[in-house]
C-alpha cells in the first residue's frame, strides 16, 4: 500500500465528517488507483431554468495527487472536456455516470483540483415522430400521393414550467393541453442534443409518466427554443426543450 493510500485510510473518519469520500473515478475507461478524494458539491441551483424544473447540474470536487494520475496521460486528461471521458461511480463500480470537466483544473502545490459535472436526467416523456423519405406511393382509396416515412423515438426529461400557463382548455371535446419544459435525453438517461430531423410545431404521438407509475397517452408539440448560449454544452447538459402535451387518455 502506498503512503497516499495509507493516509487516505488513516483520515477516512475525518474525511467523512467533511463530506469527502473515496468514490471511484476513471478517465477514458481507465480507473484511477488509488481512489482520489471526492467531495460531492450537490446541485448547482443556478442551472435550473426555473424553480419547477427538477433537472440540475450535479458537481463533484476531486483532489488528484501524482499517484492517482499515474495510470493515465495527465496532460491529455486534464485538458479533455469531452462529455463522458471522465466518469464517476457512486456505487462502488456497479454503474458509472458520464461527466465532464466543468472548468479548467486548478493546480496546487502537490495536487490538482478538478470539478466534474453532469446534468441530472430521467426520461419521462417519449415521443414518436416521422421522417419523410422523399419517395411517394399512391393511396388506393383517394388516389393521392403519400410520402413514405420512417419513425424515430426521442426522449426528454420534463416538468411543468412556470413561463406559460400549465393547462389550457381548448373547448369542445374534453381535452386539455399542458405546457412542459426540460431537456432532451437518451433512453438511458444521458444528456443529448435535439435530433436534427425532429420537426417542431407539429403534434406527434407521445406518452408521459405521471404519479404512481402511470402514463398518459397523447400528442406532444415541440416549440422552437434557442440553444444553450455556450453551444458546446448542448451535448454535455442536454438541449433544452419545451412544448405542449395534449391528453387523449386517462392513464394506463
Query: Mean pLDDT of all residues in the chain?
Result: 80
* Range among 1-5, 9-13, 226-230 rated most confident: 226-230
SS3 102: coil
Judge whether residue 239 has pLDDT over 90: no
User: Which residues lie closer than 8 Å to 162 by C-beta, 6 or more apart?
Assistant: 50, 51, 52
Confidence class of residue 30 from pLDDT cuts 50, 70 and 90? very high
Q: Where are the domains of the chain?
A: 3-119, 125-247
Average pLDDT over residues 29-54: 76
Q: Where are the beta strands (DSSP E) in the chain?
A: 20-21, 24-27, 30-31, 37-44, 57-64, 86-89, 97-101, 106-107, 112-119, 125-138, 145-160, 167-169, 176-185, 203-209, 215-222, 240-247
- pLDDT at res. 105: 94
Backbone angles phi, psi at 139, to 5 degrees: -70, 120
Neighbours of 210 (CB within 10 A): 11
**Distance of alpha carbon 56 from alpha carbon 95, whole angstroms:** 20
Element spanning 117, H or E? strand 112-119
Q: Measured on CA atoms in the order 159, 161, 166, 170, is the torsion positive or negative?
A: negative
**Distance of alpha carbon 35 from alpha carbon 25, whole angstroms:** 7
**Distance of alpha carbon 64 from alpha carbon 48, whole angstroms:** 29
Average pLDDT over residues 184-199: 89
> How much is the pTM?
0.69
Classify domain 3-119 at the CATH topology level.
Thrombin, subunit H (2.40.10)
Range with the poorest average pLDDT among 61-65, 91-95, 147-151, 161-165: 161-165
**Can you say how many angstroms the Cα of residue 165 is from the centroid of all Cα atoms in its chain?**
25
What confidence tens digit (pLDDT) does each residue in 74-111 have? 999 999 998 899 999 988 899 898 999 988 999 988 89
Amino acid at each position: 500500500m502506498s503512503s497516499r493510500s495509507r493516509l487516505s485510510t488513516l483520515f477516512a473518519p475525518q474525511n467523512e465528517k467533511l463530506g469527502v469520500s473515496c468514490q471511484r473515478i476513471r478517465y477514458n475507461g481507465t480507473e484511477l488507483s488509488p481512489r482520489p478524494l471526492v467531495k460531492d458539491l450537490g446541485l448547482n441551483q443556478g442551472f435550473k431554468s426555473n424553480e419547477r424544473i427538477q433537472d440540475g447540474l450535479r458537481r463533484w470536487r476531486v483532489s488528484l495527487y501524482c499517484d492517482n494520475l499515474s495510470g493515465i496521460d495527465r496532460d491529455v486528461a486534464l485538458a479533455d472536456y469531452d462529455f463522458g471521458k471522465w466518469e464517476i461511480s457512486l456505487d462502488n463500480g456497479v454503474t458509472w455516470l458520464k461527466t465532464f470537466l466543468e472548468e479548467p483544473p486548478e493546480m496546487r502545490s502537490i495536487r490538482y483540483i478538478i470539478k466534474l459535472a453532469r446534468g441530472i436526467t430521467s426520461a419521462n416523456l417519449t415521443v414518436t415522430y416521422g421522417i419523410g423519405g422523399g419517395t411517394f406511393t399512391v393511396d388506393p382509396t383517394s388516389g393521392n400521393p403519400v410520402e413514405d416515412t420512417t419513425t424515430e423515438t426521442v426522449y426528454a426529461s420534463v416538468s411543468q414550467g412556470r413561463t406559460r400557463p400549465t393547462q389550457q382548455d381548448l373547448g369542445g371535446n374534453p381535452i386539455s393541453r399542458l405546457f412542459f419544459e426540460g431537456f432532451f435525453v437518451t433512453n438511458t438517461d444521458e444528456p443529448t442534443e435535439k435530433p436534427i430531423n425532429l420537426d417542431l410545431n407539429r403534434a406527434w404521438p407521445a406518452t408521459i409518466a405521471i404519479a404512481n407509475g402511470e402514463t398518459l397517452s397523447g400528442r406532444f408539440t415541440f416549440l422552437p427554443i434557442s440553444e444553450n448560449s455556450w453551444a458546446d454544452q448542448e451535448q454535455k447538459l442536454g438541449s433544452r426543450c419545451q412544448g405542449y402535451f395534449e391528453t387523449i387518455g386517462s392513464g394506463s
